Amino acid sequence: MSDTILFVDDEEYILNSVERLFADSGMTILKAENAKRALDFFSKEEIAVIVSDNQMPGMKGTELLARVRDISPDTLKILMTAHADLAVAVDAINKGEVFRFITKPWNDDALVQTVEEAVKRYQIVLSLKKHDEAKLLSLAQTIELKDPYTRGHCERVADYALIIANALNLPEGIKKDLKYGCWLHDCGKIGIPENILNKKGSLTQEEFEIVKKHPRWGADVARQAQLSDTIVNIILYHHERYDGAGYPLGIKSTDIHLEAKIATVADIFDALTSDRPYREKYSDKKAIDLILQMKNNILDPKLVDIFIHNYF
């Protein structure tokens, strides 16, 4: 899969600067001094990410990214501007489905990290579109490498979720999507810095707000890859709570899709019985005691009872 990045700017020194910045990245770097030249590349190159300046003669970056959306919808689009005001942001979102904004003058580390995240997302979407089970699991395991404490987590969550699904006699198609959704439920964490994921101790409020974005990010990727509604719902809603105090939407009880509620029981049980940076794992008995305390507030009580009855 492509790791080609196209930078577009009418200032030659800007293009030379980013080329030097990414010289040792292992990525293929293309440069275009205007929108027309940039569009020409799409007829002969597979481009993972385009990073475009906004204020350029002839065609603004927002218009260029809107055209790229139609020509190469999977290409991730990053807008670079010295004037990141609301009007520009709204225009870019509406016309070009922009992945991120970078303001000038940029921070080198932030720019590299943003581009790397965009490349990973591009590759994730292409993998998901193939709907290949081995690739889906491999992708989930790759995401887990960002957090060594979650190695094997996605497979265990799927196994626990299927215990509940089998007890409920759910259709085979739903169980298959449930398995895939559990494998991919944390795919949005690809956008969370590792220093936050692996932090020992409590997160700050600002750090937690970043973590809370991962269900939306993951669901966006799944939608872009045209995965089923069931898979998207599991990714989006697996941190919602039965009492409505979860995230990202704060919905509750019957408003949460069944498959997502199943995944939440499985996710929490595995989290409790796994080592974490801030604590050692609990025994199965202790974990069961804890999830029993979560009935009617965090977890659906019927699903908790079904899991406990069928797990032992």
Task: Kindly list the structural domains of the chain, giving each domain's residue range(s) and its CATH number in brackets, ordered by start.
Answer: 4-124 (3.40.50.2300), 132-311 (1.10.3210.10)
SS (H, E, C) 169-202: CCCHHHHHHHHHHHHHCCHHHHHCCHHHHCCCCC
pLDDT at 152: 83
* Gap between the Cα atoms of 277 and 279, Å rounded: 6
CA 146, 148, 151, 157 torsion-angle sign = negative
Residue among 190, 191, 179 nearest 266 (CA):
179
pLDDT at 50: 97
pTM equals 0.71
pLDDT at 103: 81
pLDDT at 91: 67
Q: Which residue has the tokens 């995401």?
A: 143
Q: Which amino acid is at 204?
A: T
Whether the CB-CB separation of 102 and 12 falls below 8 Å is answered with no
* Gap between the Cα atoms of 262 and 238, Å rounded: 9
CB atoms within 10 A of CB 171: 9
Q: Which amino acid is at 248?
A: P
What are the mean pLDDT values of the chain's consecutive 10-residue runs (312 residues total)? 89 94 93 95 94 90 90 92 65 71 86 89 82 77 67 90 97 94 89 78 87 91 88 96 96 94 97 78 93 96 96 82
Please tell me the number of Cα atoms within 13 Å of 158 on its side-chain side. Answer: 23
Q: Can you name the residues that pair with 101 across neighbouring β-strands? A: 79
Measured CA angle at 161 (ends 175, 293), to 5 deg: 145
CB atoms within 10 A of CB 33: 17
Assign residue 66 a region: left if phi > 0, alpha if psi is -120 to 50, beta otherwise? alpha
pLDDT at 93: 65
* Gap between the Cα atoms of 238 and 236, Å rounded: 6
Whether the CB-CB separation of 78 and 100 falls below 8 Å is answered with yes
pLDDT at 89: 63
pLDDT at 108: 92
Q: Please measure the distance between the N-terminal and C-terminal CA atoms of the chain and give it in whole angstroms.
A: 44
